[in-house]
């Protein structure tokens, strides 16, 4: 069983649908040498058959063996030093044999000081790196377990620095620091580029996530580049427990409910329905769904959330991959009590993947208006495919399309009403907990939220402001 998801934005440790693989809570089981070779073959075959683009398997082999050499402390050697130059490559049989030859040579040259598990893990990491795809990676067993917990909605807090990041075109950029966190207090700003963490260059999204997360109370050095400052800045931060609720809601006015959805996991649709029913009981007759800074998550959750607002049988999205199992249409399966409620969706340049699926579904089915900025444009689907020792491959296997047949990858979704706002004035009114405590002057300064209210018949400043 495997997870299918669409996340692109990462809140440390990560923000990231199909079904949930059952993962044991114990340490990963130890594999025999034969099983480890089978694990390599399994990973190789999955990449060869399922990755969204056809790959040159010879390059996979060379990159994998190069990473094995590095893992063994033999970075001074190259592929031809451990595999005879005359050995053919390209076919599955030849590449498997080259792997065996490399393993034997590495163990001899390293004095058998490196274990086979380390070599095989290095081989798989190297093959994935050859894809040059920032969304594909090899997940060690513990990291895979953490991801499953997160996607199940079992992780509401973690140890980190409290920064929301995006990784695009080889650059790790800060979207925004969460209030009252180490990154926020230190002065890290939206738009800062993360160059290094503890002196290690950031090469992909997983490295950034792994190095910045950690136990509360531990220290981490984050080096950034700021557009208006010539020299890099290094911040010494002390990690703390970061709380990031999945969903927040408030009755904004007499009849307008506001729900902010921060991610898409196994519990998102159920939680959204419960919150909408709560607000309905308080008098909600119109709704604002805030998907700004929402990085996405489970494809399954995106379909289920869309189902709350769309009539039965509505097309939510379509995926297209290299194999037939990765190509299908997703339609709503039932009707909720909110398929007619006037609806406005708030989006920005950090609204991505699963959040874009929901936005596209609502717009293309003419169920609501989108307000804000053109979304991020992350239109690929990843599947987490378990390997034999509870590690996994996170692999891009398809692209998704909106109901109108548009793939928004790299282009995003342009809202019905383009409204720019100062990032420092973006409001989350749910933080006020009670309608009577909402700062209406601040509410009016969030021009995107103000426009959404106007579309629903509410003009700011509100009565009583």
The catalytic residues are 353, 364, 378
Cis amide prior to 216 (ω within 30 degrees): no
Q: How large is the C-alpha radius of gyration of the chain?
A: 24
308 vs 271, 285, 314, 339, CA distance in Å?
Answer: 11, 15, 11, 7
Residue 409 preceded by cis peptide, ω within 30: no
Closest among 300, 327, 350 to 399, alpha carbons compared: 327
Neighbours of 233 (CB within 10 A): 15
Q: CA-CA-CA-CA torsion for 262, 147, 41, 99, nearest 10 degrees? A: 100
Q: Which residues contact 392 (CB under 8 A, 6 or more apart)?
A: 138, 139, 144, 147, 384, 385, 386
CA-nearest of 30, 87, 88, 90 to 54 is 90
């Amino acid at each position: 069983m495997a997870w299918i998801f669409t996340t692109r934005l990462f809140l440390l440790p990560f923000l990231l649908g199909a079904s949930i693989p059952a993962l044991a809570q114990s340490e990963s089981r130890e594999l025999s040498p034969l099983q480890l070779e089978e694990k390599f073959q399994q990973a190789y075959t999955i990449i060869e058959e399922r990755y969204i683009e056809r790959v040159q398997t010879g390059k996979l082999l060379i990159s994998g063996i190069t990473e094995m050499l590095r893992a063994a402390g033999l970075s001074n050697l190259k592929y031809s030093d451990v595999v005879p130059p005359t050995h053919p490559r390209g076919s599955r049989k030849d590449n498997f044999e080259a792997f065996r030859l490399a393993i034997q040579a590495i163990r001899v040259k390293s004095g058998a000081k490196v274990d086979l598990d380390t070599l095989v893990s290095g081989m798989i990491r190297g093959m994935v790196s050859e894809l040059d795809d920032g969304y594909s990676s090899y997940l060690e067993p513990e990291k895979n377990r953490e991801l499953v917990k997160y996607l199940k909605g079992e992780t509401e807090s973690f140890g980190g620095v409290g920064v929301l990041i995006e990784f695009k075109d080889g650059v790790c950029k800060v979207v925004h620091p969460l209030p009252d966190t180490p990154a926020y207090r230190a002065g890290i700003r939206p738009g800062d580029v993360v160059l290094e963490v503890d002196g290690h260059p950031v090469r992909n999204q997983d490295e950034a996530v792994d190095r910045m997360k950690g136990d509360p109370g531990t220290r981490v050095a984050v080096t950034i580049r700021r557009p208006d400052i010539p020299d890099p800045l290094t911040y010494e931060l002390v990690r703390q427990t970061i709380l990031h609720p999945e969903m927040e809601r408030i009755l904004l006015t007499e009849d307008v409910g506001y729900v902010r959805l921060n991610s898409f996991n196994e519990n998102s649709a159920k939680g959204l329905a419960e919150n909408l029913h709560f607000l309905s009981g308080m008098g909600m007759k119109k709704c604002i769904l805030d998907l700004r800074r929402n990085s996405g998550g489970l494809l399954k959750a995106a379909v289920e959330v869309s189902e709350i607002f769309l009539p039965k049988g509505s097309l939510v999205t379509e995926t297209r991959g290299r194999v037939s199992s990765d190509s299908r249409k997703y339609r709503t399966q039932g009707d909720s009590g909110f398929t007619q409620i006037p609806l406005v969706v708030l989006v920005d340049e950090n609204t991505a993947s699963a959040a874009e699926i929901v936005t596209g579904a609502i717009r293309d089915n003419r169920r609501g208006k989108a307000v804000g900025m053109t979304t991020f444009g992350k239109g690929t689907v990843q599947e987490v495919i378990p390997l034999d020792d509870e590690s996994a491959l996170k692999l891009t296997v398809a692209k998704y399309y909106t109901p109108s047949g548009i793939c928004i990858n790299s282009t995003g979704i342009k809202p019905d009403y383009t409204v720019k706002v100062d990032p420092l004035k973006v409001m989350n009114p749910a933080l006020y907990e009670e309608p009577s405590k909402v700062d209406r002057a601040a509410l009016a300064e969030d021009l995107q939220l103000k426009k959404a209210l106007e579309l629903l018949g509410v003009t700011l400043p509100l009565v009583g402001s």
